[in-house]
């Protein structure tokens, strides 16, 4: 194919500005269709920009056109630290540039551009170089932005504000000045810019260093070329934001969630989705742990994505989960539904640019959908909130363990512009926080589907279980502290006349946690646990839930008493020689994954000791035995912990739950009787909840009969 029009006949103007035209359609594409060489030096280049150039770039390369790119990679703090520490500068720059390319592979709209780039590299049409400032001890990034189009006779040079990125070319307000060699007014400037590029390319520019990069990038871009073979690029860009239909060869290219063929959506999950749609895409699912909240939510999102696609509308789905390991778990499930999501946590630089590019792709219709999964922490921070504020398309917000978003610092971050909202929780009500519960209902809507543990067991979604309460007593010192804290709680509640504004960080919340910790850390639990473990020395898949932190008396007396988890690890792993591992918030993510893998196999890891980290969302279906040392009266915690061990698994029909129930010490005085009665009432509420669905309910209630009689609690 030969150019039909030389550069001098393309009617290119002297300036292009976002408010007076379309820089890509009006300048880049006509120039590419006439040029035989394109030289570009920019502060930042992304392969996704190539998808915008469409047919113009295809014609350019069909004619044998060549593309030379000089760019400056984005350096993260660790890169800068490595340079300052004396690491090889070129190696650090290459690592940063390869990281940018690797991130692009994960984004469908960027992957198409990267795939095109790979094919150009393989055909010898494109070369890369990296530029950076090197002057004395100063290392800086190259931020100049110039470009030159050549044909056999003439050249067109330009410079201006735009980087070679999708957001710069389309999303931002940009301007460029153009200099044409055949125009006597522009000729000197055009030739000087062309010479400046040649000097850059051959590393002849003072204080700048330019190094080859094509060879280092080849493996990644050629892999992208193979992965995107057959996908369709856009031939025409939208005018002024109008949507353009996209017909990709794969679901991922369009960004539309699709229910996997291998997934059997259960009848109750279909009902949940139907109810949510009946409430115009708003509401909460109250579903017992283990009943498939995640897959039900993704089925709803997939159905919504499909419905909007038929209406030629795009959809951004944002999933918010409490912890990083739950983000990773969600990402795995989302990938099964045909989308590679953006994981937004830790360093903002690792995800923000990619998320912005996705938003631009949705606005243009280049992508029909996309998913961002983030943690509660990142969701509430300024960068993510800016991202949501700048997005004006169709938005679905899915909140995993939605009760967490009722906290004061998070509920104010919930985006009012989200047209579709779905909250997921086994226990949506916030304990002692009526205001937070009301805020959740106001935002997400009412509960549109509910499935408790009893119904889930009856339907076979969860396994049956036996429940064994083990009675232990507080010692005198613990009982005295418990009584003192309870008195303070009563006074504080009386002074405020209400608990509706309770927050976890409030004085009342701190006292309630301290009282729960006295029960959770009761010293008599360790000898009782030893006896229970000795009865199951050969059993596999045992979970031990420990109390958080240290014993409250250790803080009171400033002693070095080991934490309950440390004592459990010594007891199980050292004294009883059971292969055991810990799973806590301090455990590195890779180590957590390895612990769960080994635990699931059941071959070389018999027990896992954990604290709060296993409460929400972590899949451990292989668990068959659970010891509940941490006796929180918060219903959310003990319901979630029961749900962890009731998940179905191959070869698992039943589960055993051993619960350590704290009772008052013998010989309590009459003055303490009412405090102890209230304490026991709180413990028995959990026992009642666990016992009435257990296979051995009658036996459990018989164990508690003497205590009920002693404290007059037969009404409980």
Report residue 171's pLDDT band, with 50, 70 and 90 as the boundaries: very low
pLDDT at 52: 41
What three-state secondary structure class fits 159? strand
Ranges 346-350, 498-502, 615-619: which has the least confidence? 498-502
- Sequence-distant contacts of 410-413: CB under 8 A, at least 24 apart: 410/376, 410/379, 410/380, 411/436, 411/439, 411/440, 411/443, 413/379, 413/380, 413/385
Categorize the per-residue pLDDT at 163 as very low, low, confident or very high, splitting at 50, 70 and 90: very low
Q: What is the pLDDT of residue 679?
A: 67
Residue 247 has pLDDT above 50, yes or no: no
Tens of pLDDT, residue by residue over 11-50, are 899 988 877 777 777 888 888 888 999 998 876 554 444 4
Cβ atoms 303, 277 nearer than 8 A: yes
Helix, strand, coil: what percent of the chain each, to 5?
45, 20, 35
Angle at 280 between CA 276 and CA 282, to 5 degrees: 60
Domain locations in the chain as residue ranges: 7-227, 252-457, 463-473+523-711
Q: Which residues in 181-314 belong to E strands, given as ranges?
A: 208-212, 282-287
Q: Looking at residues 231-257, what average pLDDT do you find?
A: 38
In the numeric block, which tokens belong to residue 701? Answer: 């209630």
Average pLDDT over residues 162-180: 60
Q: Each residue of 577-604: pLDDT tens digit? A: 999 998 887 778 778 888 888 888 877 8
DSSP one-letter code for 171: I
Q: What are the CA-CA distances from residue 33 to residues 4, 13, 22, 180, 307 (Å)? A: 8, 16, 16, 16, 38
pLDDT confidence bin for 468, thresholds 50/70/90: very high
Q: Specify the pLDDT at position 588.
A: 80
What tens digit of pLDDT does each residue of 665-693 get?
665 443 355 666 666 776 777 788 788 88
Phi (first) and psi of residue 422, to 5 degrees? -140, 120
The residue count for the chain: 716
Return the pLDDT at 240: 30
Q: Do domains 252-457 and 463-473+523-711 have the same CATH topology?
A: yes
> Cα separation of 397 and 184, whole Å?
57
For 252-457, CATH number?
3.40.50.300
The CA distance from 681 to 664, in Å, is 11
Check residue 715 and give its pLDDT. 54
Confidence label for 537 from pLDDT (cuts 50, 70 and 90) = very high
Strand partners, 52: none
What is the average pLDDT across 179-205? 93
Task: Look at residues 169, 191, 164, 172 and name the one whose alpha carbon lies nearest to residue 180.
Answer: 191
At 272 the pLDDT is 94
Domain 7-227 has CATH 3.40.50.300: no
| Alpha-carbon distance values, 140 to 147, 168, 285 (Å) | 21, 21, 51
Residue 74: per-residue pLDDT: 63
Decide: pTM greater than 0.85: no
- Span 623-649, mean pLDDT? 75
66-105 pLDDT, tens digit each: 889 887 766 666 665 665 555 555 666 666 666 655 555 4
CATH architecture of 463-473+523-711: 3-Layer(aba) Sandwich (3.40)
Give CA–CA dist 608/694, Å, rounded.
24
Each residue's pLDDT tens digit, 363-402: 767 678 999 999 999 999 999 999 999 898 999 999 998 8
Give residue 172's pLDDT band: very low, low, confident or very high (50, 70, 90): very low
- Would you give the DSSP letter of residue 25? I
**Cα–Cα distance between 295 and 615 in angstroms, integer?**
19
Q: Which long-range contacts (CB under 8 A, 24 or more apart) does 132-137 make?
A: 132/72, 132/89, 132/93, 132/208, 132/209, 133/207, 133/208, 133/209, 134/89, 134/207, 134/208, 134/209, 135/207
Q: Using the predicted structure, report yes or no on whether residue 231 has a pLDDT greater than 90.
A: no
């Amino acid at each position: 194919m030969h150019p039909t029009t030389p550069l001098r006949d393309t009617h290119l103007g002297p300036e292009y500005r976002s408010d007076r035209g379309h820089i890509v359609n009006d300048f880049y594409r006509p120039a590419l269709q006439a040029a035989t060489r394109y030289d570009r030096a920019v502060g930042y280049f992304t392969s996704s920009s190539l998808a915008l150039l469409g047919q113009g770039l295809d014609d350019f390369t069909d004619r044998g056109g060549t593309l030379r790119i000089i760019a400056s990679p984005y350096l993260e703090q660790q890169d800068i630290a490595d340079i300052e520490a004396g690491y090889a500068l070129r190696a650090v720059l290459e690592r940063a540039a390869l990281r940018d390319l690797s991130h692009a592979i994960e984004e469908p709209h960027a992957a198409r551009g990267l795939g095109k780039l790979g094919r150009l590299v393989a055909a010898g049409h494109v070369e890369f170089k990296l530029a950076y400032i090197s002057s004395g001890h100063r290392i800086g990034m190259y931020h100049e932005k110039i470009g030159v189009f050549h044909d056999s006779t003439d050249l067109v040079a330009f410079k201006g504000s735009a980087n070679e990125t999708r957001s710069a070319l389309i999303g931002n307000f940009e301007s460029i000045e153009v200099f044409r060699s055949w125009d006597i007014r522009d000729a000197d400037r055009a030739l000087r810019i062309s010479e400046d590029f040649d000097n850059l390319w051959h590393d002849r520019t003072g204080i700048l260093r330019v190094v080859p990069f094509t060879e280092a990038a080849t493996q990644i871009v050629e892999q992208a070329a193979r992965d995107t073979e057959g996908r369709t690029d856009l031939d025409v860009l939208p005018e002024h934001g109008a949507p353009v239909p996209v017909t990709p060869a794969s679901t991922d290219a369009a960004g539309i969630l699709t229910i996997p063929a291998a997934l059997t959506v259960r009848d109750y999950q279909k009902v949940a989705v139907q109810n949510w749609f009946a409430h115009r895409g708003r509401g909460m699912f109250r579903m017992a742990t283990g009943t498939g909240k995640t897959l039900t939510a993704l089925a709803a999102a997939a159905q919504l994505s499909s419905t909007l696609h038929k209406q030629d509308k795009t959809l951004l789905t944002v999933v918010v989960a409490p912890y990083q390991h739950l983000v990773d778990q969600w990402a795995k499930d989302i990938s099964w539904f045909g989308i590679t999501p953006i994981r937004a946590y830790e360093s903002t630089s690792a995800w923000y640019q990619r998320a912005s590019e996705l938003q631009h792709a949705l606005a243009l219709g280049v992508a029909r959908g996309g998913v961002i999964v983030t943690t509660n922490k990142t969701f509430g921070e300024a960068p993510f909130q800016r991202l949501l504020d700048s997005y004006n398309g169709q938005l679905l917000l899915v909140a995993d363990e939605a009760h967490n978003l009722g906290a004061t610092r998070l509920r104010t971050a919930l985006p009012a512009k989200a047209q579709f909202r779905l909250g997921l929780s086994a226990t949506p009500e916030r304990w002692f926080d009526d205001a937070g519960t009301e805020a959740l209902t106001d935002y997400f809507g009412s509960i549109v589907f509910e499935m408790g543990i009893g119904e889930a067991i009856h339907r076979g979604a969860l396994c049956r279980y036996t429940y064994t309460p083990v009675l232990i007593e507080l010692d005198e010192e613990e009982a005295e502290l418990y009584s003192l804290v309870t008195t303070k709680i009563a006074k504080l509640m009386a002074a405020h006349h209400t608990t509706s504004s309770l927050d976890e960080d409030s004085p009342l919340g701190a006292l309630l946690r301290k009282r729960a910790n006295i029960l959770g850390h009761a010293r008599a639990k360790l000898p009782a646990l030893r006896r229970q473990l000795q009865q199951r020395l050969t059993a596999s898949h045992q979970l031990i839930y420990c109390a958080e932190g240290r014993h409250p008396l250790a803080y009171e007396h400033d002693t070095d008493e080991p934490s309950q988890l440390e004592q459990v690890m010594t007891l199980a792993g050292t004294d009883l020689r059971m292969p055991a591992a810990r799973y806590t918030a301090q455990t590195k993510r890779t180590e957590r994954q390895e612990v769960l893998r080994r635990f699931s196999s059941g071959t070389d890891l018999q027990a896992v000791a954990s604290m709060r980290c296993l409460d929400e969302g972590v899949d451990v279906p292989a668990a068959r035995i659970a010891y509940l040392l941490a006796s929180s009266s918060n219903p959310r915690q003990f319901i979630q912990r029961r749900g962890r061990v009731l998940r179905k698994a191959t070869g698992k029909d039943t589960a055993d739950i051993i619960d350590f129930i704290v009772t008052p010490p013998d010989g309590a005085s009459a003055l303490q009787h009412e405090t102890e009665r209230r304490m026991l009432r709180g413990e028995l509420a959990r026992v009642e909840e666990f016992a009435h669905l257990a296979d051995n309910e009658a036996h459990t209630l018989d164990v508690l009969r003497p205590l009920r009689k002693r404290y007059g609690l037969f009404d409980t």
